[in-house]
Amino acid sequence: MASSISSAAITDGDFLAGSPYPVALLGPDGRILHASDRARRLLADRDGTPGWLRRAHLALPDDGPRPRPVRHTDPMAGPVEAHPTRRPDGSAVWWFVSREDRPAGPSPADGGGPHDWELLARLSGLLLSSLNADRVLETAARQAALHLADAAVLVAPGSGRVLRLVTCLRGADPAHAQVRADPAEVPGLAEALRGFPPVPSRWIDPGAAPHWLVPDGFGRVGSVLVTPLPGHGVPAGALVLLRTPAAGPFDPAEESFARMFAVRAGAAVSAAVMYSEQAAVTDLLMRELLPPRLEHLDGVDFAGGYRASGDRDRIGGDFYDVHPAAEPGGETLALLGDVSGKGLEAAVMTGKVRNTLHALLPLADDHQRVLHLLNRALLTSRHTRFASLVLASVRREDDRVRVRLSAAGHPAPMVVRADGRVTESTTLGSIVGVLPEATTRTDTVLLDPGEACVLYSDGITEAKGGPTGREQFGDHRLRRALAECAGLPAEAIVERVQMLAAQWLRENRHDDMAVMVIAAPPRGHVPVIGRQRGLPE
């Protein structure tokens, strides 16, 4: 049997070799017995049959109607149709037709053809689909191994004495590794990491490739290509391509294609690295600017909630803080405010207001003076950005809570009485940060057990939505909502107000929204002994 196949193969081989179109003869077991030169290149195959073809071949029925062609998308030649012709001995001849019924075309390695650019465009798309540096490195390794070599190794940028590598065998998953090694062990790598132009592959002795560079299971290295990943003005690492001896050396066209790929991979990697550095900076800033979590303090309940204008930004122009009294029985200073505008610029001024107020705490019993000094500290000739806020000095007196309120250009807080009445504090004052002088009129409110004082930003009352999508939530709806909150714990009032505002808004754009509730605990409620500071989240 074996001899009959081999004698047939010789005939077939002679017959096939000269075929102008890619054609291959596969034996019953799926091995390639013979293939035309074009087929060999199309299948990009050294020794074995590509998996897709072997599977299709073994699945061919023994008899019946003519089998349907098998479609496969080749990374280089694009979509390929493989048409089988069965032979009685179990072997089959496979004819390959690439897109547009052209003969399966030249590989990009042949240089200059339209396939180069199509592939490059596709690869660029893949590389730019993530802003996570690790993902980009993985994609680059996976695609480089698939299209340019038998294995790819990406040396991550900024590697010091420890090299961070992403390695990938053709068709396998990329793996991350860290090795303590000198890049100079690989000819051209140290230069590539510094951004120098690559050395031609033929100058690199494949035998010199150190073991840490070669992925497990790769075998002997036939050729090595090292190319830098140029980033935005700084090297973004290096790409090392490895081929087995059977795959042959990199020709100049392949080297230039690898370099074009490296340019795109480098741009994608450095964009991702820059993005993650900025994200880290923003994260650091935000941690300082986020409002604190509020709790029970000196026999008074505090609760706060905040929703930034863009759901993507967690910080913005609204802020609140609670500063516990310096000594037992003293006044706790709570404050809630709003800086004109939104986003990071507003957040920076927010930080300034909060820090200044923190420094002015020793003067907190004189609201007028605090606002006057804050106004001076914020006043600048550069812009007319301003802040509005409410100061609330809170002290428990027996089972009641006394709240001194001073508004500075801010909506007056609302007071929720035990019987469901909602009144507005009479405090009124001017904004801070832009006028020559800041003035305020302080109002004192006494809360009985179960009563609450609600500080809010105009993002709540000016939330546009409702049935028409354009109506403001308004004072009256807030008032009505609060009337139903009589006797509720501080936390529950905050959640109720936030929920109603969110329902009102639905998908609409909105300003920052902040709400803080200061409540006298209901009778019978045992206050926590000692006190807890409001801790940042």
Partner 1 sequence: MSAHPVPPPGPAAPHRAVTVRVEGELDHESCEELVRAVAAHLAAQPPYQVVRVDCAAMSLCDSMGLSALLQIRRDTDAAGRRLLLEHRPAHLDRLLRLTGTAAYLLADRAP
Q: Among 386, 456, 473, 504, which residue interacts with partner 1 (rule: CB under 8 A)?
A: 386
Q: Among 134, 366, 462, 491, which residue interacts with partner 1 (rule: CB under 8 A)?
A: 462
Closest CA to 152 of 175, 135, 169: 169
If binding is defined by CB under 8 A, does position 429 make contact with partner 1? yes
Nearer to partner 1, 332 or 340 (CB): 340
Nearer to partner 1, 87 or 464 (CB): 464
Nearer to partner 1, 98 or 440 (CB): 440
Q: Among 362, 436, 524, 530, which residue interacts with partner 1 (rule: CB under 8 A)?
A: 436
Query: By CB neighbour count within 10 A (0-12 exposed, 13-18 middle, 19+ buried), where does 110 fall?
Result: middle
Q: Among 228, 305, 324, 411, which residue interacts with partner 1 (rule: CB under 8 A)?
A: 411
The least distance separating partner 1 from the CB of residue 102, rounded to whole angstroms, comes to 54
Total residues at the site for partner 1 (CB under 8 A)?
Answer: 26
Q: How far is CA 328 from CA 298, 325, 331, in A?
A: 8, 7, 9
In the stretch 501-520, what mask flags binding to partner 1 with x, by CB under 8 A?
A: ----------x---------
Using CB under 8 A as the binding rule, the residues of this chain from 313 to 332 that contact partner 1 are: 317
Euclidean distance between CA atoms 325 and 395, whole angstroms:
9
Nearer to partner 1, 465 or 489 (CB): 465
Euclidean distance between CA atoms 459 and 309, whole angstroms:
9
The least distance separating partner 1 from the CB of residue 387, rounded to whole angstroms, comes to 9
Nearer to partner 1, 131 or 379 (CB): 379
Q: Among 172, 175, 190, 435, which residue interacts with partner 1 (rule: CB under 8 A)?
A: 435
Closest CA to 172 of 144, 210, 195, 211: 144
Token representation of residue 446: 């006494």
In the stretch 95-134, what mask flags binding to partner 1 with x, by CB under 8 A?
A: ----------------------------------------
Token representation of residue 421: 């009445």
The residue type of 291 is P
The least distance separating partner 1 from the CB of residue 460, rounded to whole angstroms, comes to 14
Tokens 């993002």 appear where?
459
Q: Which residues contact 132 (CB under 8 A, 6 or more apart)?
A: 272, 276
CB 413 within 8 A of CB 451: no
Closest CA to 454 of 527, 514, 402: 514
Q: Among 341, 450, 489, 521, which residue interacts with partner 1 (rule: CB under 8 A)?
A: 341
The least distance separating partner 1 from the CB of residue 340, rounded to whole angstroms, comes to 4
To the nearest 10°, report the CA torsion of 479, 481, 482, 483.
90
The stretch near partner 1 (CB under 8 A) out of 83-91, 207-215, 283-291, 383-391 is 383-391
Euclidean distance between CA atoms 352 and 349, whole angstroms:
5
Closest CA to 303 of 291, 314, 311, 313: 291
Token representation of residue 467: 């049935």
Say how many residues make up the chain: 537
Q: Among 138, 331, 338, 443, which residue interacts with partner 1 (rule: CB under 8 A)?
A: 338
Is the Cα dihedral 470, 471, 475, 478 positive or negative?
negative
Nearer to partner 1, 227 or 340 (CB): 340
Nearer to partner 1, 385 or 402 (CB): 385
Euclidean distance between CA atoms 198 and 225, whole angstroms:
8
The stretch near partner 1 (CB under 8 A) out of 115-123, 159-167, 405-413, 442-450 is 405-413
If binding is defined by CB under 8 A, does position 454 make contact with partner 1? no
Pairing outcome for strands 151-155 and 162-169: antiparallel
If binding is defined by CB under 8 A, does position 214 make contact with partner 1? no
Q: Angle 112-118-122 (CA atoms, 0-180°, nearest 5)? A: 135
Nearer to partner 1, 160 or 436 (CB): 436
Give the binding site for partner 1 (CB under 8 A).
317, 338, 340-342, 383-386, 388, 408-411, 428-431, 434-436, 438-439, 458, 462, 511
